Structure 1
């Protein structure tokens, strides 16, 4: 069973009397433990596709299954519970809470899961150490660099070991060297824990880290590039 299965996905927005087709007809499978990159230019539909898979937007047509659960049929309350248990998010703009320090930001998802405070602190401290921020646990976001803030964001996404990690332009605000470091951290943790990692980006250098690259253009899958060992296979949609 695929970790994520998308069938006949279509998303149409209405702007007054106009219809804007953000996604035309998307069919896609992402395997468990796979690092999949959705690559496309601005306006291609890649972020809309990510939002659909994360249950943040409802499709106009089609179905989305994650780990055997049809999230496209869930209501908002069911989606919220599902995401709390199964999904982590990494954002381009970090989305840290300014009033909280690094440790408190990482503990937030565990609070929603009702993990006891002592366990929350231990789990957050452990993962902050893994991303190299053990000396920054008391720092607030405005006391950290962009790369450090993104590592806090990664720690928050991975704490509690969710099955699926969605990352939306995770290196978009970072320089090249920091981007490589951030990608290596995310991939290392995902592979170690056999988590499925889905990354949206416009950057081919980020896409080079993936097992599978889904090229999206004008709301359609243009082609799929699969890395097997040192060989890349091209699958045209």
Structure 2
């Protein structure tokens, strides 16, 4: 499989007054197209900083981030925004749904930027919500749904435009065990079905079993990388 992401000597240093805090130091790794990759580490290990760098949410202090032969570190803000619209989806721990919009409107939102006609994007959003088991919640707002339902809406939104890469930042952090399994099955199943690349950041060893490869992070460095030969099999076809 070809590499879709290449990270070379990535370093991130934050300045706090006169102090310098090194969040990442000379990190190099590759992620392949269609791979489910888990970045595992405790709070403060640098895993979320790495995700933010790869997703173009923060600029590195040094190093290269090459995604589909595009150098993110050389892009300006407008170019990075366009890149994310074209290639990337996000799933967040806190769902990040717009509270005044319905589930249907939240999921259809990424398609607005592509200039798609209203009827077509609503039909696609309905299909995605049905795929995540929320076909009967189309017109519910976030406040009318449980945490698990909100995260399903978030997953539908992340996948609706069929992005080549999906970033998931602690996607099960606010969920109970049963809902966590359902959410992980959903994301794993969708990425396998459409050969998408999924990069998940977590501190939870139990969710890491769903990944093809686990990258252990400690103190801003890659501690070790393990191929997951006993990968959890998702329970439903999507």
**TM-score in terms of structure 2 length:** 0.95
Contact kept? 2:209, 2:228, Cα under 8 Å: no
Is 1:47 matched with 2:48?
A: yes
- Matched with 1:235 is none
Q: CA deviation at 1:71?
A: 1.2
- Matched with 1:179 is 180
Describe the superposition over 1:11-35 as per-residue Cα deviations: whole angstroms up to 9, x where unpaired: 0000010000000110111100000
* Structure-1 separation of matches of 2:94 and 2:109: 17
- Matched with 2:17 is 16
- Matched with 1:81 is 82
Is 1:168 matched with 2:169?
A: yes
* Structure-2 separation of matches of 1:51 and 1:127: 26
Out of 65-74 and 126-135, give the one that drifted further.
65-74
SS for the counterpart of 2:228 is strand
- Matched with 2:138 is 137
Count of aligned positions: 230
TM superposition outliers: structure 1 runs of 4+ over 6 Å: none
- Matched with 2:154 is 153
- Matched with 1:233 is none
SS for the counterpart of 1:188 is helix
| 1:217-228 equivalence runs, <5 A | 217-228=218-229
Out of 186-195 and 68-77, give the one that drifted further.
68-77
Out of 32-41 and 108-117, give the one that drifted further.
108-117
Describe the superposition over 1:90-115 as per-residue Cα deviations: whole angstroms up to 9, x where unpaired: 00000000000000000111111211
SS for the counterpart of 1:123 is helix
Q: CA deviation at 1:228?
A: 3.9
- Matched with 1:38 is 39
In the alignment, structure 2 segments of 5+ residues that lack a partner are 232-238
- Matched with 2:59 is 58
**TM-score in terms of structure 1 length:** 0.96
- Matched with 1:202 is 203
Q: CA deviation at 1:213?
A: 0.3
Q: CA deviation at 1:229?
A: 6.1
* Structure-2 separation of matches of 1:52 and 1:116: 33
- Matched with 1:90 is 91
SS for the counterpart of 2:215 is strand
Is 1:25 matched with 2:30?
A: no
* Structure-1 separation of matches of 2:116 and 2:207: 34
Q: CA deviation at 1:72?
A: 1.4
